[in-house]
Amino acid sequence: MIVDRLSNEVPYFRQRRNAHGRYGLSALQKCTAAIRMLAYGQSGDTYDEYLRLGESTALLCLEKFNEAIIQLFGDEYLRKPTPADLQRLLDIGEVRGFPGMIGSIDCMHWEWKNCPRSWRGQYTRGHGKPTIVLEAVASHDLWIWHAFFGLPGTLNDINVLDRSQIFSYIIQGRAPKVNFTVNGHNYRMAYYLTDGIYPKWSTFIQSIPLPQGLKAELFAEKQESARKDVEHAFGVLQSRFAIVKNPALLWDKEKIGKIMRTCVILHNMIVENERITYTMSDTSEFESGESSRSSQVEILQPTDSPSNFVNRHGIQESATLLRLRQGILAGSSASDSTKRQFHKDCLSVLLGLMMMYIATLSLSTMTTKKLAKAI
């Protein structure tokens, strides 16, 4: 599909004749060179014998390939969640015990080996190496819904969030409206799972640092487990495209950004193709007509949309966060808490039996030694 669309819609990838009337490089050769550079992270002169490409030609193929992929597939595979996508994410979040959750957010650093000397202080944190930050939102199926790349590595997650456009659609009132219920309270703003560095906003749910009680421990365990989706997506992205895992060798920051966007687009293509083989949460009960769905996306948008100030205040409200987390905590499954206590009791009984066995074994050994001395 990629080779066909590029050869039909991008002039650079069309096979042409040279001055001698011979055919030049085909679209398959150019795409293979670019994809191999993305997948293996090797330099441009690695494929001169295999594909008969020089270093400058291979680098040009990579540049044109990135531009073509972003132009042809960026709108589809770097899109904001549609109402259907949001409803599916909400259903999965509800099945996993987090009504209103649509993903997890975190940042990843990509080392920049050939960072200009005058920029190293801006892109280097501490005594490390220059890096560029990627902020991403990933769902349970590892689809990356938001990718904000290009900020210096000296910025932490909060500084990146201040410059990010993740809430721009919500602030401008263009995002689909979400309505969900937790412990009898209605909420109209979906949220992400984060680690402890993010601010205490109603759109971010952090774990409990020192959980006290079975329900608090269960909440912390499930939140920290579900929050690893974005870390999992980062690991899969780096394993599929070694160019993102290895230090960036280019000098131009704009070209590095195009490489990252291309890798995210190709990653989402693979996720879409392999999604049916993943072990996903069962949301079949929500697809039927009679369901107990508590999270819904409003299809009909209200005519009186709130102002930007009201929307921003709703995102950054901390009182809603406390009530929402307490509601999720109170709604934790009693059966899960009972199972957890049962497992603890079984573990303590097992440890007691092991201690008794060790004591009996040591006692029998001492008795055998005494009998041997007496004999």
Render pLDDT for 86-107 as a digit per residue (tens, 0 to 9).
Answer: 989 998 988 888 888 999 999 9
| Residues 69 and 88 placed together within one structural domain of the fold | no
Last residue of one domain, picked from the residues 60, 76, 92:
76
| Residues 222 and 242 placed together within one structural domain of the fold | yes
Distance (Å, rounded) from C-alpha 35 to C-alpha 267? 12
Structure tokens at 145: 């819904």
- pLDDT for 334: 47
> What amino acid occupies position 175?
A
Distance (Å, rounded) from C-alpha 284 to C-alpha 263? 32
Supply the DSSP string of 52-110, one letter for each residue.
---HHHHHHHHHHHHHHHHHHHHHHHTPPPPHHHHHHHHHHHHHTT-TTEEEEEEEEEE
The pLDDT mean for the chain works out to 82
Distance (Å, rounded) from C-alpha 240 to C-alpha 270? 10
Q: Residue 147: how many CB atoms within 10 A of its CB?
A: 19
- pLDDT tens, N- to C-terminus, the chain (375 residues): 789 999 999 999 988 887 787 888 889 989 988 999 999 988 877 777 777 788 888 899 999 999 999 999 999 999 988 888 998 999 898 888 888 899 999 999 999 999 999 999 999 988 789 999 999 999 999 999 999 999 999 999 999 999 998 888 777 777 778 888 888 888 888 899 999 899 888 889 888 888 888 888 888 888 899 999 999 999 999 999 999 999 999 999 999 999 999 999 999 999 999 887 766 666 665 555 545 677 777 765 544 455 555 555 556 666 666 667 777 766 655 445 555 555 566 677 677 777 776 767 666 665 555 545 555
| Residues 34 and 130 placed together within one structural domain of the fold | no
| Residues 309 and 372 placed together within one structural domain of the fold | no
Per residue in 210-239, pLDDT (tens digit) is: 888 888 888 888 889 999 999 999 999 999
What is the number of alpha carbons within 13 Å of residue 10 lying toward its C-beta? 24
Q: Measure CA 341 to chain center.
A: 32
Instruction: Report DSSP state, residue 7.
Output: H
| Residues 230 and 315 placed together within one structural domain of the fold | yes
| Residues 88 and 187 placed together within one structural domain of the fold | yes
Structure tokens at 91: 């259903």
| Residues 97 and 46 placed together within one structural domain of the fold | no
Structural domains in the chain (count)? 3
Distance (Å, rounded) from C-alpha 35 to C-alpha 266? 10
SS3 242: helix
Last residue of one domain, picked from the residues 14, 46, 76:
76
Last residue of one domain, picked from the residues 47, 76, 105:
76
SS3 187: strand
For residue 147, give the nearest of 258, 12, 69 by alpha carbon: 258
SS3 255: helix
- In contact, 220 and 208? CB cutoff 8 Å: yes
- Tokens 């979906």 correspond to 190
Distance (Å, rounded) from C-alpha 219 to C-alpha 89? 19
Structure tokens at 102: 């649509």
| Residues 102 and 120 placed together within one structural domain of the fold | yes
- pLDDT for 364: 62
What's the domain range around 339?
334-375
> What amino acid occupies position 50?
Y
| Residues 307 and 352 placed together within one structural domain of the fold | no
| Residues 96 and 58 placed together within one structural domain of the fold | no
- In contact, 102 and 89? CB cutoff 8 Å: yes
| Residues 103 and 243 placed together within one structural domain of the fold | yes
Supply the DSSP string of 104-116, one letter for each residue.
EEEEEEEEBTT--
Per residue in 118-169, pLDDT (tens digit) is: 999 999 988 789 999 999 999 999 999 999 999 999 999 999 999 998 888 7
Cα separations (Å) of 259 from 35, 292, 323, 371? 11, 43, 42, 77
SS3 26: coil
| Residues 217 and 306 placed together within one structural domain of the fold | yes
